[in-house]
């Protein structure tokens, strides 16, 4: 049953390390990241002048460090993400290319202070940001995030274009924003578009035309364009991978035509989150109950949507495998090498806490190997938008995270303690 597929149903190791040993050493739920996969994904995109990692997908400092060593830059959507980038060794400042860029639809007061203090270039996603930035940093070059009027994502909730979306500057307001920038003594040094997350080639390619027209309308102050992120990644057998070479060629064409029109080089950026970090990560959970509810069989595990929210939020599909808990001191338990339909749920007191959801979210059974309490479920492709979207719902601590690099296992985030969880809470006396 563990045939040669991309997503086997039984796994014994992750990045060469036995799953059961990892679970026993670090406890569960446990995120495990394979550094080599992140570095490989950065290398896939080497044709682009700048690979700017959208750290919101997975911002553990150790992962940021892997990304930095692989030669990528980083974006930051908050004061916290700017601080993470700095802590991971990215250099602040207006270098070419800037290693850290603040990309958001608003400045909260802390972020505005931080971009001014650390000289972090900004990508403005609303006209108001132009005025707010101009008031504190006149004379700078900025980039504008444009909403081209259309978008697409793996779910409507991850579509960031079109008039239903709050993201970016509406495309017909571009000329007005160029004027607004001038009034603020800012120049428009680049444009950026990101139409959604987990989209496809057909939709991503439409951005090229919109970018070319928008950049030509601004003119020769443009020195960089960003294709945004949104590259899909396979979550199940048969999911297509993007043809990076073809995608690059489309964008390179835009870049070359703009460079010819402007009479100077134009740098081409790409800003993926999922593509770089989804496949590196697995979430290990222990099966704590196997129970029958009428016709349905449930494996209830110790990870829930407090650890991985994608299934409950988007009805997102994640591959799953069983890892047997073999204790070498005992003789191996007899294993029924058979599959059965199971629903995999978590510990939270909420009916939607089910990992086997798909297609916009209804609970489905999934063929998984027969397993027992004490065995593990390994949820795959859980690097991106996994740990970062974790919460303390039901007072569950944030999970531990482990990075495997060159055969070495590093604990890169300790499991949160109860004391961490209640820090800052006070009972009035």
Among 134, 161, 272, 390, binds ligand LLP (CB under 6 A): 272
CA-based torsion, 23, 25, 30, 36: positive or negative: negative
Q: Using CB under 6 A, which of the segments 79-87, 201-209, 223-231, 355-363 binds ligand LLP? A: 223-231
Q: Based on CB atoms, which residue is closest to ligand LLP, 131 or 200?
A: 200
Residue 274: exposed, middle, or buried by beta-carbon count in 10 A (0-12, 13-18, 19+)?
Answer: buried
Helix (H, G, I), strand (E, B) or coil at 373: coil
Q: Using CB under 6 A, which of the segments 183-191, 260-268, 272-280, 375-383 binds ligand LLP? A: 272-280
How far is the first Cα of the chain from the last one, in angstroms, to the nearest whole number?
Answer: 60
The answer to whether the beta carbons of residues 301 and 345 sit under 8 Å apart is yes
Binding site feature residues for substrate? 274, 310, 314, 350, 385
d(CA 365, CA 214): 47
The answer to whether the beta carbons of residues 144 and 189 sit under 8 Å apart is no
Which single residue is written with the structure tokens 């439409």? Answer: 206
Smallest distance from the beta carbon of 273 to ligand LLP, in angstroms?
A: 3
Among 228, 319, 345, 346, binds ligand LLP (CB under 6 A): 228
Pairing verdict, β 169-170 and 30-34:
unpaired
Helix (H) or strand (E) holding 101: strand 100-104
d(CA 200, CA 230): 8
Q: Using CB under 6 A, which of the segments 52-60, 289-297, 330-338, 411-419 binds ligand LLP? A: 52-60
Smallest distance from the beta carbon of 250 to ligand LLP, in angstroms?
A: 17
- Residue 229 in contact with ligand LLP, rule: CB under 6 A: yes
Among 55, 99, 103, 165, binds ligand LLP (CB under 6 A): 103
Among 274, 318, 366, 396, binds ligand LLP (CB under 6 A): 274
Which ranges of 104-241 would DSSP assign to H, the alpha helix?
109-118, 127-136, 174-183, 201-218
Among 55, 99, 159, 197, binds ligand LLP (CB under 6 A): 197
Residue 418: exposed, middle, or buried by beta-carbon count in 10 A (0-12, 13-18, 19+)?
Answer: exposed
- 223 φ, ψ to 5°? -115, -10
- Residue 194 in contact with ligand LLP, rule: CB under 6 A: yes
d(CA 105, CA 102): 10
d(CA 258, CA 204): 19
The answer to whether the beta carbons of residues 224 and 97 sit under 8 Å apart is yes
- Residues forming beta bridges with residue 357, ordered by sequence position: 363
- Residue 55 in contact with ligand LLP, rule: CB under 6 A: no
Cα Rg of the chain (Å, integer): 23
Contacts to ligand LLP from residues 285-344, by CB under 6 A = 310
Smallest distance from the beta carbon of 312 to ligand LLP, in angstroms?
A: 11
Smallest distance from the beta carbon of 105 to ligand LLP, in angstroms?
A: 9
- Residue 385 in contact with ligand LLP, rule: CB under 6 A: yes
- Residue 369 in contact with ligand LLP, rule: CB under 6 A: no
Smallest distance from the beta carbon of 165 to ligand LLP, in angstroms?
A: 10
d(CA 171, CA 147): 6
d(CA 20, CA 113): 46
Among 29, 92, 121, 230, binds ligand LLP (CB under 6 A): 230
Q: Based on CB atoms, which residue is closest to ligand LLP, 235 or 376?
A: 235
Smallest distance from the beta carbon of 329 to ligand LLP, in angstroms?
A: 40
- Residue 271 in contact with ligand LLP, rule: CB under 6 A: yes
Q: Using CB under 6 A, which of the segments 127-135, 266-274, 362-370, 403-411 binds ligand LLP? A: 266-274
Q: Based on CB atoms, which residue is closest to ligand LLP, 146 or 322?
A: 146
| Residue tagged active-site, from 73, 124, 208, 349 | 349
Whether 137 is a known active-site residue: answer: no
Which single residue is written with the structure tokens 């294993």? Answer: 335
Question: What's the length of the chain?
Answer: 429
Which single residue is written with the structure tokens 């509406």? Answer: 170
The answer to whether the beta carbons of residues 98 and 149 sit under 8 Å apart is no
Among 29, 92, 121, 273, binds ligand LLP (CB under 6 A): 273
Q: Using CB under 6 A, which of the segments 83-91, 172-180, 250-258, 271-279 binds ligand LLP? A: 271-279
- Residue 198 in contact with ligand LLP, rule: CB under 6 A: yes
Among 37, 54, 112, 342, binds ligand LLP (CB under 6 A): 54
**Which residues sit at the interface with ligand LLP, rule CB under 6 A?**
54, 56-57, 103, 158, 160, 194, 197-198, 228-231, 271-275, 310, 384-385
Question: Which residues are tagged catalytic?
Answer: 349
């Amino acid at each position: 049953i563990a045939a040669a597929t991309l997503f086997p149903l039984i796994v014994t190791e992750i990045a060469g390390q036995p799953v059961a040993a990892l679970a026993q050493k670090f406890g569960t739920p446990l995120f495990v990241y394979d550094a080599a996969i992140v570095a490989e994904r950065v290398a896939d995109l080497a044709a682009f002048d700048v690979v700017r990692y959208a750290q919101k997908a997975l911002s553990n400092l150790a992962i940021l460090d892997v990304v930095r060593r692989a030669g990528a830059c980083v974006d930051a959507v908050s004061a916290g993400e700017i601080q993470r980038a700095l802590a991971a060794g990215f250099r602040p400042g207006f270098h070419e290319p800037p290693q850290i860029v603040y990309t958001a639809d608003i400045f909260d007061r802390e972020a505005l202070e931080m971009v001014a203090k650390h000289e972090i270039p900004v990508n403005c996603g609303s006209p108001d940001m132009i005025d707010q930035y101009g008031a504190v940093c006149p004379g700078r070059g900025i980039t504008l995030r444009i909403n081209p009027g259309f978008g697409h994502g793996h779910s409507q909730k991850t579509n960031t274009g079109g008039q239903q979306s709050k993201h970016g500057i509406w495309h017909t307001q571009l000329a007005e924003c160029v004027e607004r920038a001038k009034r603020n003594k800012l120049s428009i040094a680049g444009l950026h578009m990101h139409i959604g997350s987990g989209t496809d080639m057909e939709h991503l390619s439409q951005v090229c035309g919109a970018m070319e027209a928008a950049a030509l309308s601004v003119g020769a102050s443009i020195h960089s364009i960003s294709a945004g992120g949104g590259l899909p990644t396979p979550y199940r057998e048969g999911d297509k991978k993007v043809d990076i070479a073809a995608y690059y060629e489309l964008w390179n064409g835009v870049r070359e035509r703009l460079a010819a029109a402007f009479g100077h080089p134009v740098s081409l950026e790409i800003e993926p989150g999922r593509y770089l970090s989804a496949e590196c990560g697995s979430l290990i959970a222990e099966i704590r109950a196997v129970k029958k509810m009428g016709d349905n069989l449930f494996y209830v595990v110790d990870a829930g949507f407090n650890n991985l929210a994608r299934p409950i939020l988007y009805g997102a599909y994640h591959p799953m495998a069983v890892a047997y808990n073999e204790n070498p001191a005992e003789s191996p338990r007899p294993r029924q090498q058979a599959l059965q339909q199971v629903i995999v749920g978590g510990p939270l007191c909420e009916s939607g806490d089910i990992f086997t959801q798909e297609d916009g979210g209804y609970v489905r059974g999934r063929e998984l190997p027969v397993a027992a309490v004490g065995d593990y479920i390994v949820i795959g492709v859980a690097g991106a938008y996994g740990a970062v979207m974790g919460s303390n719902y039901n007072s569950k601590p944030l999970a531990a995270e482990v990075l495997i690099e060159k055969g070495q296992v590093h604990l890169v985030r300790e499991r949160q303690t109860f004391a961490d969880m209640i820090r800052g809470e006070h009972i009035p006396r």
